[in-house]
Amino acid sequence: MNKILNYRVVSLSVIIFLAFSLITIAQESNNYPTIGEVVRFDNRINDLIEDDARIELLASGFEWSEGPLWIQDGGGCLVFSDIPRNSVMKWKEGEGITLFMKPSGYTGVADYGREPGSNGLTLDLQGCIIFCEHGDRRISRLEKDGGKKTLADNYKGRRLNSPNDAVVKSNGDIYFTDPPYGLPKRYDDPRRELDYCGVYRLSTTGQLTLLTKEMTRPNGIAFSPEENILYVAQSDSKNPIIKAFPVKRDGTLGTGKVLYNYLNFVRKFPGSPDGLKVDRSGNLFATGPGGVYIITPKGKLLGRIHTGQATANCAWGDDGSVMYMTVDDSLCRIKTKTKGANWKNIP
């Protein structure tokens, strides 16, 4: 065997070993590596996360992981978007990572930039997955027969930018954000048909309502446990905030107020305000620079699940007390002492 051939064989062996190691990390259920730490700013965080809680690294090797969603059927699993690869991946304890869907957010034939796939994922009241699709610029639903249905792709005849994240109200209405991050040239893309970034409500009757266009880069979105407040994160490095909007009886929004401003952290750690979830006591678990920030309903920062990396989104899983996090190219989780808001009501 000549040296060149031997080199190629050795190189191939290394690649196979690394791939096998990656799969092994995803499949080992009792011995995951850990990263980061829990940074505590207020003693009240001790009621939410144990002193010895660890951030477990479940799997790596993705391009940009987003939109984690726990599905309780079949013993429970987590699905999440890998946006650049136009895919949705599935992780299950003891089985590891498998491909759940491809394509996930773009079905065209031409190149569509760096982030063509689905972003945020959530469940409707019937347990069907709702997709925020970048490339196809729509909100869609995966039907029980396996096909997809478009729920909304335009507002008053003008195509949406690129739906980013969504939350379903207890009456079935879908609230979602629509920044232009999925467009190949983002804000400067000639395909843009709307000159603002909106927050919308899609009613169960199919009516699409623009709730606000005051936020420059609306991103993560979640309700308070009583659904009287809608939280929206803004991933704008010049104004990195979370706003709290009162929800009126008709489902529209009142005047929003800044709940939290990340400005002191955006220069210190990678990432920006992105996805967020709420626990049963109304505390926000909101991704931001370097991890997941735990913020009270009054805007007090209790602590940070510090991954040290750009952290895109998070979701409750298992029995509702485990926080799963999409962290750059990885999937992580941490056990908490609380549970997701209205967890028992999830299909």
pLDDT of the chain along its 347 residues, tens only?
443 334 343 343 333 334 434 443 444 456 899 999 999 999 999 999 999 999 999 999 999 999 999 999 888 999 999 999 999 999 999 999 999 999 999 999 999 999 999 999 999 999 999 999 999 999 999 999 999 999 999 999 999 999 999 999 999 999 999 999 999 999 999 999 999 999 999 999 999 999 999 999 999 999 999 999 999 999 999 999 999 999 999 999 999 999 999 999 998 999 999 999 999 999 999 999 999 999 999 999 999 999 999 999 999 999 999 999 999 999 999 999 999 998 875 55
* pLDDT value at residue 18: 42
Full residue range of the structural domain in which residue 171 is found:
32-345
Residue 46 lies in a domain: yes
How many C-beta atoms lie closer than 10 Å to residue 337's C-beta?
13
Residue 159 lies in a domain: yes
Residue 158 lies in a domain: yes
* pLDDT value at residue 60: 96
Residue 221 lies in a domain: yes
* pLDDT value at residue 328: 97
Residue 22 lies in a domain: no
Q: pTM, whole model, 2 decimals? A: 0.91
* pLDDT value at residue 7: 35
Residue 26 lies in a domain: no
Write the DSSP string, 241-273: EEEEEEBPTTS-B---EEEEE-HHHHTTSS--S
- CATH at 332: 2.120.10.30
* pLDDT value at residue 15: 38
How many C-beta atoms lie closer than 10 Å to residue 4's C-beta?
8
For 240, the token pair is: 């990195």
Backbone torsions φ then ψ of 47, nearest 5 degrees: -80, -10
Residue 10 lies in a domain: no
Residue 189 lies in a domain: yes
Give the total number of structural domains in the chain: 1
* pLDDT value at residue 73: 86
Q: Sign (positive/negative) of CA torsion 55, 61, 63, 65?
A: negative
